[in-house]
A and B are shown apart, each in its own frame.
Chain A
Amino acid sequence: METAQKVLLTDSISKNTEMIKAQLGHSSDLFERELVLPYLHRKVHLIYLDGINDTSKIEDYILSPLAAISIKEEQSLNSMIDYLRLQVIQSINIVTETVKDKIVRMILEGKTAIFIEGEATCLLADTAKWPERSAPEPKVQRTSTGPDIAFNENGTYNLSLIRKTIKDPLLRVEKVKNPNIQTSISMVFIEGKVDKEILDEVRKKMDKINIPVILDVNYLEESLTDNTSSSFPLTLSSDRPDVVCAEVLSGKIAIVVDGTQFVLTLPSVFIQFFQSPDDYYILNRSTHTRRLGRLFFFMLSVLFPGLYISFTLYHPGLIPTSLLVGLIAQREIVPFPTIVEVFIFFWLIIIITEGSIRLPSGVVLTVTIFASITLGQQAVEAQLVQPATLVVLAASYVFSSVVPIYSLSLAYKRLTFRFIFLATILGLYGVLVGLIILLLHLCSLRSFGVPYLSPVAPFQPQDQKDAIFRLPIQHIINNDKSLFKEDPMRKK
């Protein structure tokens, strides 16, 4: 459809520039500079957007060379453009274009358009200079050791960080060519290591996306994965170049989106969300304890409130007597049933978390003080709530913080809530049924054809070197993960 309405440039320079300016609505940050070529006496117009262009580049590489042209004889008409492109303008990236829409788009991408009198072709030189911040520190995925540099919001810079680490001629950067997306997206992978089928699937899905502006990788995360109803993230996004490079080196695909400091990697499996980069930066001692610990405490944090309810409500006989005495003594003086207490305070925890993330940093302190002192301590003293309930919920919340990757810790709320619900109606049996359902769900999930729980289920003996246990570095590097994959066409 777009090809049908292709508007081409004309020979008249004023018409051309007027057309471009009209398309951009005579925007006030659209600058036009006119000059006349010496000796040749032909008009030249430069059009560019102020703010996103480096004016000194325009002056140095376009204006002054043009002003210094010293040939007297007119070149033949078609070589005029070539002459300027090849010999005069000294910008590194320069292209020719005749279609209006494409020119407009390139101007928006930070190029300077050069119109020459009597030419139906326009030269576009890259003079972009985007506002960017200097290399920040990783904010979301912090580690105690290891490289301390993070991606920023500039896609080119992010790519350069990956290039800096992986100096492999087989490293490929592939730009996504989807006309519906204005944001520049690049896929990074290593030829030969990457799985061709997964790559093709990602390409196909990328072509189907119809979102003009992609503000964050999550836009892609949701568009690329099939199962968005699951609480579990099927892709991994990180702001750490070392994490992304490690993923790319093990044959995965990284997706760099211009404008966000997060880089998406896929496919990803469940166990990855319990592996922190500093597992590899600290001498290999008891990595498996730490990983198992994270897994265990994550599960505990999800189950703890549910277990508390089911034991106090349905199976008090199963609690050791000395503990039971204390619990019953607390139970006697408070007005609400345990379930109501748990629900109220679980919501309170969620609300306080929301508040402390969103509020201006000055107010956060006030909120947390009110939350901890008034809601916590005073509620107990006013005999509104059992101290045990508060301890259980707080412990559950703190345990959930062991997960090194934030997107998984979001699943905590949903899962905990479900287990509280199941425990309320069915006690311990409900919790167990919930666990089996959770396992079944995890086992049925796939991230781009890779079973989510691999290499544990289905069990892959060759991939155990770096799953829960981590062998010494020299055993796991140079040893590709096999990324056991299933035919995506098959039925469930």
Chain B
Amino acid sequence: MNVTKISIYQLITLMTLFLLGSSIVLGLNLQAEENAWIINTGAAITGVLLFFFYAYLLKRNGWPEFHKLLELAFGKILGKVVLILYSLYFLYIAVRVLKDFIYFITQTFYYNIDHWIIAFVSVCLICYAAVLGLEAVARTSEILFVFTVLLITLIIFFSFLSGIMMGENIRPIIDLEILDLSNWVQYITFPYGEMVVFLVLFPFLNDHKRLMKHGWIAVVLSGVILITVSEIIIAILGAKVAALYTYPLVKAIEMIELLGIIQHLELLTAFAFIIVGFVKVSIFFISGAKGISYVFPILQEKFIIFLLGAMIFFGSFIIAKDLPEHLFIGLEVVPLYLHVPFQFILPLLILLLTWMKGRKKQRKGV
């Protein structure tokens, strides 16, 4: 019997760190240049709506666990198939984030260490987290949240203090001529659409009423942080330059120097990234593992975790040969062919099916 319970505080911190994961260092939609903040604001608002959509999906069915929700909508067998698909999707995204992680660490910390060492240690860490379970991760995230907010505040504080931010860089504030919304799929699927994984976590809350009341704060908070950070990046580097870098935040922060003592603040961004990356991968990994262990109840949970851990370890070598390919897949292929079906089409289908079943039942009842 699973009676894991997490509190609303823990969920908010988990969700904030989750949404900041990867996107904070990769820079959110910087290719939109000066208009990045408009697009980011739009994405955040969509994110809030998405949050309510996912929460509503569970609420109207009485907060069932994810696998029960799928069985409710698709029936026993088809539900299991969809569950496996979802688990694989979560695991795939986990591998993608892990890959981000590995590239980032090798590029900022070391220049000549084998990728597999970093991957191995990271996978061990994530497996350990998964073995300890969702509760331990949720509590850890409460503390990590404080650290992350502190780190980001420090970064913002020092970038203001060092005086390398140029007001001209963020102007024009609105440039309608180059405002291009054709990439909207990419804008809303990452990172906000990835909240679909919280369909697995929401049922474990101890107080569902407060989720509807306070849960959106996490989305807004991470939205505000992401907008602030991307504006700072643009203000320091200039919009055109910022769009060129893979890790624009690191590049921007590298330029800060104060009094000759405070330098190399990019360390702080590295810390922040490792924290949020850890939370993001663990959430995807734990959700994927939960799905798999439900489909195969014979296998021990620990065994599944280690099996999947080995899978994502090797997966991190297979999914992309190098960073450009990794980024290309991430920006062009995954949003359209993976994110859209799993984040929008399937949840809408679930909503439709459960709604129809509910009506049928009602009619029968009358």
Interface residue ranges, A against B (CB under 8 Å): 314-315, 317-318, 320, 426-430, 432-433, 436-437, 439-441, 443-444, 451, 453, 456-459, 487, 490-492
Contacts and interface: CB of A to CB of B under 8 A. Distances in A.
B271 interface: yes
Contacts of A444: 132-133, 135-136
Contacts of A430: 121
A156 to B, nearest CB: 42
Interface of B: 1-4, 7, 9-10, 105, 109-110, 117-118, 121-122, 125, 128-129, 132-133, 135-137, 139-140, 142-144, 260-261, 263-264, 267, 270-271, 274-275, 278
A54 B128 CA distance: 60
B3 A490 contact: yes
B129 A440 contact: yes
Given A320-B260, A490-B3, A433 B139 contact: no
B139 A429 contact: no
B132 A427 contact: no
B144 A439 contact: yes
B271 A432 contact: yes
B244 to A, nearest CB: 23
Given A320-B261, A320-B263, A459-B7, A492 B132 contact: yes
A490 B133 CA distance: 12
B136 A443 contact: yes
Contacts, number: 90
Given A428-B109, A436-B278, A491 B1 contact: yes
B143 A315 contact: no
Most buried by A among B2, B139, B275: B139
Contact of A440 (B128, B261, B264): B128
Given A314-B110, A320-B261, A444-B133, 11 more contacts: A317-B264, A318-B264, A426-B118, A440-B136, A443-B135, A444-B132, A457-B10, A457-B139, A459-B9, A490-B3, A492-B136
14 contacts: A318-B264, A320-B261, A428-B270, A432-B271, A433-B274, A436-B144, A436-B278, A441-B132, A443-B137, A443-B140, A459-B142, A491-B1, A491-B3, A492-B133
Contact of A457 (B133, B140, B261): B140
Contact of A429 (B7, B133, B137, B274): B274
Contacts of B7: 458-459
Nearest to B279: A436
Closest 8 CB pairs of A and B: A443-B139, A457-B139, A457-B142, A444-B136, A444-B132, A443-B136, A318-B264, A443-B140
A487 B4 CA distance: 11
Contacts of B267: 318, 428
A427 B144 CA distance: 21
A433 B109 contact: no
A441 B129 CA distance: 9
Nearest to A422: B121
Nearest to B121: A433
A65 B118 CA distance: 85
A489 to B, nearest CB: 9
Given A458-B7, A490-B3, A492-B133, A440 B109 contact: no
Contacts of B278: 436
Nearest to B271: A432
A178 B110 CA distance: 60
Contacts of A436: 125, 140, 144, 274-275, 278
Given A437-B125, A456-B142, A429 B109 contact: yes
Contact of B105 (A429, A437, A459): A429
B163 to A, nearest CB: 20
Contacts of B121: 426, 429-430, 433
B142 A440 contact: no
B117 A426 contact: yes
A427 B267 CA distance: 13
A320 B271 CA distance: 19
Nearest to A490: B3
A429 B125 CA distance: 12
A433 B2 contact: no
A102 to B, nearest CB: 46
B4 to A, nearest CB: 8
Most buried by B among A427, A430, A458: A458
Contacts of B263: 320
Contacts of A453: 139, 143
Given A426-B121, A429-B274, A440-B132, A458 B9 contact: yes
B105 A440 contact: no
A213 B271 CA distance: 50
A427 B110 CA distance: 9
A456 B132 CA distance: 18
Contacts of B261: 320
B143 A427 contact: no
Nearest to A459: B9
A468 B10 CA distance: 19
A433 B122 contact: yes
Contacts of A490: 3-4
A492 B302 CA distance: 12
Contacts of B136: 440, 443-444, 492
